Amino acid sequence: MSERKISTALISVYSKEGLNGVVKKLDALGVKLLSTGGTQRYIEELGVKVGAVEDLTSYPSILGGRVKTLHPKVFGGILARRSSDSDRSESTRYEIPLIDLVIVDLYPFEATVQSGADEQEIIEKIDIGGISLIRAAAKNFEDVLIISDRSMYGDLEEILDGGGVTTVDIRRRFAARAFDVSSGYDTAIFNWFTQGEEVRSSFKRSTAPVHRLRYGENPHQKGAFYGDMDEVMEQLHGKEISYNNLLDIDAAVSLISEFDETTVAVLKHNNACGAASRNTLIEAWRDALAGDPVSAFGGVIVANREIDEETAREIDKIFFEVIIAPSYDEKALEVLKSKKNRIILRLKVSADSEGTFRSVLNGVLWQERDGRTESAEDLEPVTSVKPDSNQLRDLVFANKLVKHSKSNTIVLAGNSQLYSSGVGMTSRVDALKFAVGKAKSFGFDLGNAVMASDAFFPFSDSVEIAFREGIKVIVQPGGSVRDNDSVEFCNKHGIAMLFTGVRHFRH
């Protein structure tokens, strides 16, 4: 028989939030309640009768509360198979009450870690009894309903409103959610214990909740986002965020976090097609757009200052998918909300994980996040000609853009403005040629430009092309066995070249 009516419930929770309604509905159905410690006292204060687990086991809570429910009379009542004559016979012989419902809310391990608590306090927040109850009840889903998190109370109340009867399909679904909770909990503990290791012995990640997307990268692919997007940003307006939107948003947030100056960037397919730093936001927007007004169509706009009405009215003149900023003034929001599908996001904090990962073949590639950003002091002159202060500022600006562009990439910039870039090319020479042609098509004077490369020049050909186009200042990582060829050419033709010593490949 797949249907089970709840007759006896064990409740053992850390947080009592939301428990009131559940307890009262259980009581109204005549369900016998069992509980421990603080949960028992809470239920009694509600005026509801509850049995003490200590009375059932004839054993007190010991070791400072570390051992409360770990007893055969508790776990026997959860794990006993109702369809097994021998299980039922043993339950009767040893006076083990059959438990139909288990409600658990685990110790807040992750929250304790995030609070900066000391090691001992963190260790004490590793739940033992609760996690054991969850696993036991979930294992015996044929007979027992498990509520493993207070976010499930609403679902439980619906069941109780229907008389407290569950089917095996319902119990199986709740069991799956329970193992999701327990595996996520164990993953957090493992990652805490191994946080000092350079490379962990295994890759474990447990991320929730799930946001089902309309589709993946293409309409024929399913897609989902796992994580709490609300921690990072607030959607103020617009349609549902798509898979491709999220990729661009992530790239935009990562890029804008590099800049302290008032900056606006426009991204398309994860690469900046326009960017500028200026004294005012309206100037930054105009010059960012000027970098490539064609590619900006349907792009993602990101700024690191509040969007004001004047800037909003200028931005509103073009079609774009997403805008991201730390805040918006009231009138600016009115302007930007004029298009119903336009996604408007308020950035709360920059997402900053310790590493990046992606699926490859039958496994996962993990690496540390590229947290290196070179300042002017990190750029080493290797030629007789040295850049002036304005050129040095532009080199730092261009190098930030290179770091966040797909390899192979060349960035041309001047006066803290992106002139153009060649991104995702199979050849560095092709990347440069593309960037040169694009900059010229939008009327930029390359005599005022600096050039940045994400990796070293294996030959002097790129430097030679740059010289022919009038570019006189170059920054690159260096490290080629033929670096001297490029340096000699620069010295011969009055070009300033600087090395960063840091490659910024991005694939």
Strand runs labelled E in 240-292: 263-268, 271-277
Sole residue written with tokens 């770990």:
70
Q: State how far the alpha carbon of 348 is from the alpha carbons of 285, 321, 322, 443, in Å.
A: 21, 19, 16, 37
Q: Are 435 and 422 in contact (CB under 8 A)?
A: yes
Task: For 64-120, give the DSSP string.
Answer: TTTBSS-SHHHHHHHH--TT-HHHHHHHHHTT-----EEEEE---HHHHHHTT--HH
Q: Are 401 and 264 in contact (CB under 8 A)?
A: no
CA 325/CA 398 separation, integer angstroms: 22
Q: How far is CA 308 from the centre of its chain?
A: 28
CB 440 within 8 Å of CB 419: no
* Known catalytic residue at 139: yes
Phi, psi values for residue 12, rounded to 5°: -145, 100
Q: CB-based contacts of 436: which residues, under 8 Å, 6+ apart?
A: 412, 420, 446, 465, 469
Given 32, 139, 237, 339, the catalytic residue: 139
Q: Which amino acid is at 424?
A: G
* Beta pairing, strands 51-52 & 32-35: parallel
Out of 269, 331, 337, 440, the active site residue is 269
What DSSP assignment string belongs to 254-265? Answer: HHHTT--SSEEE
Q: Is 269 annotated as catalytic?
A: yes
Catalytic residues: 139, 269
